[in-house]
Structure 1
Amino acid sequence: MPQSVRGVVAHKKGEPVSVETIIVPDPGPGEAVVQVQACGVCHTDLHYREGGINDEFPFLLGHEAAGIVEAVGEGVTDVAPGDFVILNWRAVDGTCRACRRGEPWYCFSTHNAAQKMTLESGQELSPALGIGAFVEKTLVHAGQCTKVDPAVKPEVAGLLGCGVMAGIGAAINTGGVGRGDSIAVIGCGGVGDAAIAGARLAGASTIIAIDMDDRKLEWAKGFGATHTINARERDVVEAVQELTDGNGANVVVDAVGRPETFKQAFYARDLAGTVVLVGVPTPDMTVDLPLIDVFGRGGSTKSSWYGDCLPSRDFPMLVDLHLQGRLPLEKFVSETIALDGVEAAFEKMHKGEVLRSVVLF
C-alpha cells in the first residue's frame, strides 16, 4: 500500500525548497523502498534547485544517503528488508558495452526505479540523481542499494554515496595515486578534501592542498595535506613546482571545474603526469590550450565520473577502512540538521561555511 511521508521539494528554478507530503508506492519488480536515516546536503542538490541539471521540476532533492531497506519487489535478491545500505546513483546494468568490456564503473545504462514518487496531487516528482533522499522513505532501484557494515553511523556512511566517493575515487581510481607519489588538489571543499584523504590512504608522500580560503586549507590539513597554497597569494603553478623539486606533481586534481583551475592543473603537473577533472563545469565554459603543450607535456587528462567507483566494491571497503580508524569520515560532517533545515544548509554551503550539513532522520 502506498505510504505518505515528508520530503524536500524544489518547485521552480531558484525558489526556496519546501517540505511536503510525498506518496511512495510499494516496490515493483527490481525496486526497493528504503527508510532513510541520514542524507548529506550536496552541491548537486543546489544545482538541481537552480536548474543547472535540467528543467524537469518539481524535484525531490537529496541523494547522498544511507538507511534501512524496508521492502523489496519481485526478483530482488542482492538486498533484503532490514539490510543497512548506502544509496548510489550508479546501479550498473551488467550488459552495456562498458560492462561487457569489464569496466562497469563506466556503465552507460544505469538503473533507476521504474515507478515515480508523487505529490499528494498526483504530480510526478523527478528524484535527484534517480534517488530523491531528503525524504523519510524513498523508492529506488534495488541496484542502487549497496549493503555495508551496519556498525557505521548513517550520517557518515551516506556521504560515500556521492561527494566523498567522488573525491577519493578521483585520486585513487582515476588518478592512480600510489605510494610515494605527489598530488596537488585544487579546491578544498568536500570533494577536494576527500581526494586528499584518498591520496593519504594510497600512500602519497607529498599532498598539496590549494584554495583561496585559509579556513578550508586548515580543514585540508586534517585530511592529510602535507602542504597548503593560498591561490590568492601565490602563483599556483610556481608554488606546486617549488614543492616538487621544480617538476610539478605526479597527479593534479581539479575539484573546482573552471577554465582557470583546469589550466592551473594542466601546467602544475609533472611531465607525463595526470590531470583529473572532478569539479563539474557549467555548459558555457571552454578552455583554450596550445595544442603543442598538450602534446609536449605527455601524460593524460581525465574526467572522473563518480570517482570511477563501483559501489559494490568500493563502499564496503571504505566503510571498513573508516571502522578501522584509517578514513576519518566523521570530519566531513560539519553539522546535523532536521529536514526543514535544508534551505539554510544551502546558504551555508554557498558561503563555504561547512563541508557537509547532514539531514538526520
Structure 2
Amino acid sequence: MTQQARAVLCREVGKPVVVETVSVDAPQRGEVMIKLAACGVCHSDLSVTTGTLPLPPPVVLGHEGAGSIVAVGEGVSSFALGDHVVSSFVSMCGKCRYCQTGRPQLCDQAAKAGFTLPDGTTRFKDAAGKPLNIFSGCGVMAEYATLHVDNVIKIDAAVPLDKAALIGCGVMTGVGAAVNTAKVEPGSATVVFGCGGVGLNAIQGCAIAGARIIVAVDTSDAKLEMAKQFGATHTVNPKNEENIVKALKKLTEGGADYAFECVGFGEIAAQAYGCLRKGGTAVVVGVAGPKDTTTIRTATLTFEEKTLKGSYFGSARPQQDFPRLIGLYRSGRLKLDELITRTYSVEEAPQAFADLAEGRNARGVILF
C-alpha cells in the first residue's frame, strides 16, 4: 500500500519550504504507517531550513506529529489499526547502554536516524521517484508517514490530536527540562530565558513542580505577557536592564535555584549560569549553532558548587512521560490548548514558517 501525500519539504538550505505531492511506501518489518491529523511547526524544523541543523536536503520536515495507525508492518504487535499515536523524534531501541540505564533520549540508535529510518532507508519518494530524507526518522509534516515503531507512542484516543501533537517535542522538551533534567523542587526560585514554544513549557514545568518564583525573560513584551498565562510570576525584558544578571539575582532574592536557557545562544547560557545562587543549576535547552560557545568563570564551579548541564528532549522516557503529560492535560494542570496560537493548512506551510521566524506564535500547528 503506497499512499500519495502532500508534504512540506526543505529542498534547499536558506530557501523557503515547499509543499509537494510525494509517495509514502507501505511499512516494512517493525514499522507503521500513520495518517497524520496535525503537526506542530517547531523551531528545529526552521533550523533545518537555515542550516543550523545540517541535514542533507531534500528532507521531509516534521517531528511533532499526531495521527492514527492505518497500516502495520510484519512483526508489529504493539500497535493496531486505528490506534492514536504521537511521534517521538528520538528513536529508542531499548537495548543500548543509554536505554538500559534509563536515559533513552541518548539512545545510540537515534544517532543513526537523523534523516532516515534506523536502517538507513526512507519510505518517502518525490514525484520523480527519488528518495527523500526525513527529519529525525519522522517526516511527519505530511498527510501520511511511515515510521519505525521505536519512534511512535500510543496515546489515549480521547485527547484531541491537534493538542496531543505538541507533546512530541515542545511540551516534552520544556516540561521535561524542569521536571526530569533539573528536578525542580517545590518552593524554589527559577528563571527561564526565552518564551517561545519550549520556554513556555519550561515555565509551566516549573509551575507544575511547585516553584515559588518563576521569572520569564524575553525581548518580546507580547511573549512576556503570554508567559504569565503559563505560570510566570515575574517578567523581565533584557532591553530594559543595564545588567540582566544583577536584575535577576535581585528578583530571585539572591539568585535562582534553577535557570533554563531556551534560546540557543552561548551568551544567554552564560547569563543563565551567572544568575544562579550558590549550589544552583543552569540547564541549556536551546539548540545553539555548531560554532557557538559559552564562557563561564571556572572557579565558580568549585567554590560555589554550581552546575551547568544540558537537556535533550527533556530527558524524556516517552513511553512513560507522554502518557503522564496527557494525564496532566486531562486534569487541567498542563496547558496545551493555550499553546496553539494559529493553525494552518498544509498549503499554508510557507506562511507558518515565516510566522515562526518572526516569533508571532507560541506554536503554529499544521492540520491535515
TM over 0.5: same fold? yes
Write the mapping of 1:24-39 to structure 2, written as runs, cut at 5 A.
Answer: 24-39=24-39
Distance in 2, Cα, partners of 1:23 & 1:100: 36
Tell me, in whole angstroms, the C-alpha distance in 2 between the residues paired with 1:105 and 1:41.
Answer: 21
CA distance in 1, matches of 2:314, 2:15: 31
In the other structure, the counterpart of 2:240 is 233
**What residue number does 2:44 align with?**
44
Letter in 1 for 2:164: A
Q: Structure 1 residue 55: deviation in Å?
A: 4.4
Q: Which residue of 1 aligns with 2:298?
A: 291
Paired position in structure 1 for 2:61: 61
* Shift in Å, 1:16: 2.0
Q: Are 1:23 and 1:120, in contact at CA under 8 Å, matched by a contact in 2?
A: yes
Q: Is the Cα–Cα contact under 8 Å of residues 58 and 126 in structure 1 kept in the other structure? A: yes
Partner-residue secondary structure (3-state), 1:207: strand
Match of 2:96 in 1: 96
Contact 2:187 2:212 in 1 (8 A): yes
TM-score (norm 1): 0.96
The alignment covers a number of residue pairs equal to 360
Q: CA deviation at 1:348?
A: 1.1
User: Which one-letter code corresponds to 1:319 in the other structure?
Assistant: I
Verify: 1:350 aligned to 2:357, yes or no: yes
Q: 1:174 & 1:286 partners in 2: Cα distance? A: 21
Residue deviations 1:203-260 (CA, integer Å, cap 9, x gap)? 11111111111111000000000111111112221122112222x1110000012122
**RMSD, matched Cα:** 1.3
User: Which deviates more, 51-60 or 347-356?
Assistant: 51-60
Which shifted more, 127-136 or 288-297?
288-297
1:118 alignment partner, one of 103, 113, 125? 125
Corresponding position of 1:326? 333
Residue 357 of structure 1, CA deviation: 1.0
Structure 2 partner of 1:8 = 8
Structure 2 residue 196 is matched with structure 1 residue 201: no
Q: Tell me by how many angstroms 1:288 deviates.
A: 2.3
Shift of 1:151: 1.4
Whole-angstrom distance in 2 between the partners of 1:293 and 1:200: 28
Task: Write out aligned runs for 1:179-194 (5 A).
Answer: 179-194=186-201
Q: TM (normalized to structure 2)?
A: 0.95
2: distance between equivalents of 1:284 and 1:263? 15
1:176 aligns with 2:192: no
Give the fraction of aligned pairs with identical amino acids, expressed as a percent. 39
- CA offset at residue 287 of structure 1? 2.0
**Residue type matched to 2:195 in 1?**
C
The CA distance in 2 between the partners of 1:195 and 1:349, in whole Å, is: 19
* Contiguous gaps of at least 5 residues in structure 1: none
**Residue in 1 aligned with 2:18?**
18
Shift of 1:2: 1.5
Is 1:149 the counterpart of 2:156? The answer is: yes
1:92 CA drift (Å): 1.3
Rounded to whole Å, the distance in 2 between the matches of 1:174 and 1:91 is: 19
Q: 1:113 to 1:104 in 2, by over 3 A?
A: closer
Partner in structure 2 of residue 271 of structure 1: 278
What letter matches 1:241 in structure 2? K
Work out whether residues 275 and 301 of structure 1, in 8 Å CA contact, stay in contact via their aligned partners in 2: yes
SS at match of 1:109: helix
**1:58 shift after superposition:** 0.3
The residue matched to 2:361 in structure 1 has which SS? Answer: coil
Report the Cα offset of residue 353 of structure 1. Answer: 1.0
Structure 2: tracts of 5 or more residues without a match: none
- Cα deviation, residue 177, structure 1: 0.5
1:299 is displaced (CA, Å) by 2.9
Q: Which amino acid aligns with 2:360?
A: E
